[in-house]
Amino acid sequence: MIQVSGLSKQFESTKVLNEIDLTVSKGEVIAILGPSGSGKTTLLRCLSFLENATQGFLTFNGKTYDMTRVTKKQIRSIRMKLGFVFQGFNLFRNKTALQNVTEGLTTARHISKTDAEKKAHEMLKKVGMDYRSDFYPDELSGGQQQRVAIARAIAANPEVILFDEPTSALDPELTGEVLSVMKKLAEEGTTMIVVTHEMSFAQKVASHVIFMEDGVIVEEGAARDFFAHPKEERTIRFLKKSSIDYDYSI
């Protein structure tokens, strides 16, 4: 469904991504792991054209794009099929949970207000937040805000959802509720690329794991093999350091 080849990104003189290849099939959950500064966010930003790649090709739904030469129209059409969930929730503070979900549907997708609200209630229900549909972000906990952000992302029926450390801004006791919503989406067959530090989540939910460091993929593989038999010394060191990670029993 998505194939990236030779993706590189350079900021001034620093190469932040170096010839990244990535394949995502329908229904797959890809976990991207790696220490801070390894290029994980930049990878997601290049995939969604929030950042211009220095080099690389993207094949999406059978069409191949030179990532350095895409038109605004092509970017718009690719983005319509992507959902995003960021670390900082990014909800509109002056809109209720419901309005945060309907906004993109009525403006970018020209869905009628009635249909958008129906869809938004459905999605909020799915993340366990419909009972707070009239609440403003400031009246919600971080975990609840992130669940609204997930409802917003799935409301547009994206083909793939990109998550950038969706729980890292949350207190530990709120992390579990967000991870369980994500697990549910995964079980329903949602295609997801998830940058995360939650090893137990990656272990239980991901089908494929990518470990990055310094802008390159150090190791990748089926989640089961990756955690059971990591091959690279750097991966082993990283996994050892992360083993204190709390198991949220999602």
Other CB atoms within a 10 A radius of the CB of residue 91 amount to 22
Partner from ligand ADP, Mg ion, none binding residue 175, C-beta < 5-8 Å depending on class: none
Pick the closer one to ligand ADP by CB: 41 or 180.
Answer: 41
Sequence-distant (≥ 6) Cβ neighbours of residue 198 within 8 angstroms: 167, 175, 179, 245, 248
Cβ at position 13, least distance to ligand ADP in Å: 10
CA distances from 62 to 3, 59, 193 (A): 9, 6, 19
Minimum CB–partner distance for residue 164 and ligand ADP (Å): 7
Residue of minimal Cβ distance to Mg ion: 41
Task: Work out how close the CB of 2 gets to ligand ADP at its nearest, in angstroms, rounded to a whole number.
Answer: 19
Contacts of 109 (CB under 8 A, 6+ apart): 80, 156
Least distance CB 164 / Mg ion (angstroms): 6
Stretch that binds Mg ion, among 7-15, 36-44, 117-125, 131-139 (CB under 5 A): 36-44
Q: Which of 8, 41, 144, 190 binds Mg ion (CB under 5 A)?
A: 41
Please tell me whether residue 42 binds Mg ion under the rule CB under 5 A: no
169 neighbors 157 (Cβ within 8 angstroms): no
Task: Tell me how far apart the 2 most distant CA atoms of the chain are, in Å.
Answer: 55
Can you give the binding site for Mg ion, defined by CB under 5 A? Answer: 40-41
